Structure 1
Amino acid sequence: MPASTAGTATTAAGSAIAQGGVTSMSMSRMAASLPRAAAQPQQQQPVASSSKAAASQPSTTASKATAQSHGQGASQGSGTRGNEPGKEEQQQGQQVPRGAKQAEPKKDEPRRVRFSVGSKYAVQDVIGEGAYGVVASAIHRPTGQKVAIKKIAPFDHSMFCLRTLRELKLLRYFAEQHVSEDIISIVDIVKPTSLDAFKEVYLIQELMETDLYRVIRTQNLSDDHVQYFIYQTCRALKALHSADVIHRDLKPSNLLLNANCDLKVCDFGLARSVATAEPNGGETGFMTEYVATRWYRAPEIMLTFKQYTKAIDIWSVGCICAEMLSGRPLFPGRDYHHQLSLILAVTGTPTLDEFYNINSRRSRDYLRALPFQKKKNFQDLFPNASPLAVDFLAKTLTFDPIKRLTVEQCLEHPYLANYHDPDDEPVAPPLEPSFFHFDLQKEAISSQQLKELLYNEVMQFKPLV
């Protein structure tokens, strides 16, 4: 991409999001009095436009304060940890992958970020950033449509490249199957001039105004809101699970929202097919680090059960539902041991059958050393929740993944009856095992081969705008 087409996004304080401003959210299927989510960031003038010398370039500035208001990254679907304490805390808004820290700008001096996106897009504000990615709001000049542009530099580490490749392939697949209404969409990709010039990936996506993390922390949600958000999450999961895909990183900051309370699931960088998500598929080990933000992580992942199933996503749904009902995380573990102790304090000590479903002897020894705990009554934990909400929690937060509801059973649960429509909950054909072939060969595949695979995906993409 010629340098003359590179826009600049900067960080600058003062937008509604940067100040933590939240307004009310309307929803066509709910009463007008229901709370609204977060306001969209105010559109700021490009810094370049303030000087005649720079006026000819489509440049932009968005502030570090804005990015920080969204946590260390922004959602729009890339792998970050969110909603955990300390350094892993509060990934929110439009997310980008985490990693090494970027250099801080000098005080009161906005940090510029170049976006080589051509003349079709007027880059506006940075709304989130991480180590190998930055998200900016932008305008699609031909239509005036507001979009989010995610700039990713995935080639410094093969893991970043794998996550970008997974996400791009999956989002493209679900869009082609017409099941992506509750899944974030890629509407365009800026195509490089050649493989050698392919240094960055620019994904253009729908611009969502906030995420569930911010909404939970700024408002009390009604039971209707909880039902509607859980319904949309499960509707998206039905499409994923029908394709034999496990998301593996569901959390409030990966559920994007707009002013109509439309919800879209994002961040598919950790997603896997059922075949490649099993412990014998290469992700074994006591309390594996790979899957899901800790607070929303199913116990079988940490304890290495004999098989990982779609039920790990259902556990995350239960955790998110509980958090919306109470306004705080259900299992905010400080570390793995604390996380497990919080879970067992609610689910109780595993039964003998559940105990022997755990593949890792080390994990079994760890559990054996813990004191016996009795299962808690969810009605006692959530005294203000409706009986149907309590029943939904009890059936999605069981220690044994086999006893958890499937996503189809979640949608059929009476708690979601106001929204459930079996004729409007689309499914996708199961993915062929070869779809994630690079995951099965990731130890043998070179960085250059990964780059070529990602390049081919980018070049094959057909824009929606």
Structure 2
Amino acid sequence: MSIPRTHSRSGSRANELSHSMKSKSQSNKTTFDCAGTSFTVDSHYQFIKQIGHGAYGVVVSALDKRTNTKVAIKKIPKAFEDLIDAKRILREIKLLNYLDHENIISILDVQKPPARTGYEDIYIITDLMETDLHRVIYSMQELSDEHIQYFMYQMLRGLLYMHSGGVIHRDLKPSNLLLNKNCDLKICDLGLARGYDNERDDNLTEYVVTRWYRAPEVILNASHYTKALDVWSVGCVFAELLGRSPLFPGEDYLDQVQRIIAVLGIPSQEDMAFIGNESAKRFIKGLPKRQRVPWSTLYAKANPIALDLLNKMLVFNPNKRFTVEECLSHPYFEGLHNSEEEPTAPVQFDWSFDDFTPTKPLLQSMVYEESLKYHPL
């Protein structure tokens, strides 16, 4: 991996096993089979190979013959069986339409369904990236301080755009940070994202952020979140880059809290003021007294300036945690930070669409409407 001077928006998936494929064209559509899944997409997409298989469906790489660029096509079969999941997919489509930034994955196309309602599958076409940060961290790839600095800068740069538009990601972790050979990084998976200016009673106690990357306020409070929770998650990713292992691999909620306190020490009365749950406060007060572990003890070979930034991000009290803007201005990013090249969102994201009770026909109709942005009638 090399550190480029400029961002590159192209990429290809390398070293993946190819899968057998059958292809046939029908009018303006082409159909191919991959790993037991049948894809039917616009005929200008030419199948290359399978690149992933997640909880929501199969992802393949394809060539867009109109532009001669490689793209990723995700098929979400039976997308409307679970209405909560379907609403998350709709939310992600709307957010990716809005978040126009080179460090956030771009949605290039939503295939137009055959009708406004009654269909089952969703096809989303995005930028093609080669791998994700989780795979890189746990590979044999050497990671220099320059690599880590560049990855962190891009994460924060993309997050600045999100936060400025009124969006909290809420699920930042290494596998949601995509990379290519040029070390370009793009944030993905925004299905759990929410706004922070006009929080409604939106079932905020639902699953938010893979446990190891959850901020203390999410574990202990879970009633009101701020942008600070994303900074904590990025701080956890930062530590994982430095140590090539997760910092707080909790086995459950209580273990997660204990692991955090084992490193940061028992919080002061003042720093627990944000916790609304009295039983959570009693639990913490009942833990054995722990002194803070210096970051230099955990990461003896790390750049001291990097550890100073880490110390500003992994702060128990969210009100004292660095903001994304403060992180970007930190000396660790000297030579990269330039406020003129760190765009913010021109307008706030409109969350009003999200305030509805999902039904299958309504969600199908809303996804259909999104597809019309790419396939006008």
Q: Same fold (TM over 0.5)?
A: yes
1:274/1:461 Cα in 2 relative to 1: closer, same or farther (>3 Å)? farther
Question: Which residue number corresponds to residue 404 of structure 1?
Answer: 321
Q: Is the 8 A contact 2:76 2:123 kept in 1?
A: yes
Question: Which residue number corresponds to residue 94 of structure 2?
Answer: 169
Are 2:264 and 1:264 equivalent residues in the alignment? no
Given candidates 351, 359, 379, the residue that maps to 2:268 is: 351
Once the two structures are superposed, residues 220-249 of structure 1 have per-residue CA deviations (whole angstroms, 9 ceiling, x without a partner) of 310000000000000000000101110001
Q: Is the 8 A contact 1:244 1:274 kept in 2?
A: yes
Given candidates 22, 32, 35, the residue that maps to 1:48 is: 22
Are 2:223 and 1:302 equivalent residues in the alignment? no
Task: Mark the runs of 5 or more structure 1 residues left unpaired by the alignment.
Answer: 1-24, 31-36, 63-110
Q: CA deviation at 1:186?
A: 0.9
Q: Is the 8 A contact 1:38 1:214 kept in 2?
A: no
Q: CA deviation at 1:324?
A: 0.7
C-alpha distance in 2, partners of 1:264/1:58? 29
C-alpha distance in 1, partners of 2:229/2:361? 33
Matches within 5 A, 1:378-393: 378-393=295-310
Are 2:63 and 1:150 equivalent residues in the alignment? no
1:190/1:358 Cα in 2 relative to 1: closer, same or farther (>3 Å)? same
Matches within 5 A, 1:413-428: 413-428=330-345
2:224 match: secondary structure: coil
1:222/1:174 Cα in 2 relative to 1: closer, same or farther (>3 Å)? same
Q: CA deviation at 1:188?
A: 1.5
1:437 maps to amino acid: S
Given candidates 101, 114, 126, the residue that maps to 1:193 is: 114
Q: Is the 8 A contact 2:267 2:316 kept in 1?
A: yes
Question: Which residue number corresponds to residue 101 of structure 1?
Answer: none
Aligned residues: 368
Question: Which residue number corresponds to residue 365 of structure 1?
Answer: 282
Q: Is the 8 A contact 2:48 2:63 kept in 1?
A: yes
Q: Is the 8 A contact 2:13 2:128 kept in 1?
A: no
Given candidates 312, 320, 332, the residue that maps to 2:237 is: 320
C-alpha distance in 2, partners of 1:377/1:428? 37
1:187 maps to amino acid: L
Question: Which residue number corresponds to residue 360 of structure 2?
Answer: 447
1:167 match: secondary structure: helix
The more displaced of 245-254 and 150-159 is: 150-159
Question: Which residue number corresponds to residue 224 of structure 1?
Answer: 146
C-alpha distance in 1, partners of 2:333/2:30? 46
2:46 match: secondary structure: strand
Matches within 5 A, 1:52-91: 58=30, 60=32, 62=34
C-alpha distance in 2, partners of 1:114/1:259? 30
More relative contact order in 1 or in 2 (CA 8 Å, sep 6+)? Answer: 2
Q: Is the 8 A contact 1:46 1:59 kept in 2?
A: no
Are 2:60 and 1:136 equivalent residues in the alignment? yes
2:129 maps to amino acid: M
Once the two structures are superposed, residues 9-55 of structure 1 have per-residue CA deviations (whole angstroms, 9 ceiling, x without a partner) of xxxxxxxxxxxxxxxx233239xxxxxx9961458475327xxxx79
Q: CA deviation at 1:131?
A: 4.1
Question: Which residue number corresponds to residue 211 of structure 1?
Answer: 132
Question: Which residue number corresponds to residue 255 of structure 2?
Answer: 338
1:135 match: secondary structure: strand
1:428 maps to amino acid: A
Given candidates 436, 450, 463, the residue that maps to 2:351 is: 436
Q: Is the 8 A contact 1:312 1:401 kept in 2?
A: yes
Pairwise CA RMSD: 2.5
Given candidates 157, 161, 168, the residue that maps to 1:235 is: 157
C-alpha distance in 1, partners of 2:194/2:87? 11
Task: Mark the runs of 5 or more structure 2 residues left unpaired by the alignment.
Answer: none
C-alpha distance in 2, partners of 1:368/1:306? 21
C-alpha distance in 1, partners of 2:375/2:137? 36
2:266 match: secondary structure: coil
C-alpha distance in 2, partners of 1:43/1:346? 41
Are 2:18 and 1:116 equivalent residues in the alignment? no
1:323 maps to amino acid: E
Q: Is the 8 A contact 1:59 1:123 kept in 2?
A: no
1:45/1:313 Cα in 2 relative to 1: closer, same or farther (>3 Å)? closer
TM-score under structure 2 normalisation? 0.90
Once the two structures are superposed, residues 176-220 of structure 1 have per-residue CA deviations (whole angstroms, 9 ceiling, x without a partner) of xxxx11100011121123113532211111110111111111123
Q: Is the 8 A contact 2:25 2:43 kept in 1?
A: no
Question: Kindly, what percent of the aligned residue pairs are identical?
Answer: 45
1:55/1:313 Cα in 2 relative to 1: closer, same or farther (>3 Å)? closer
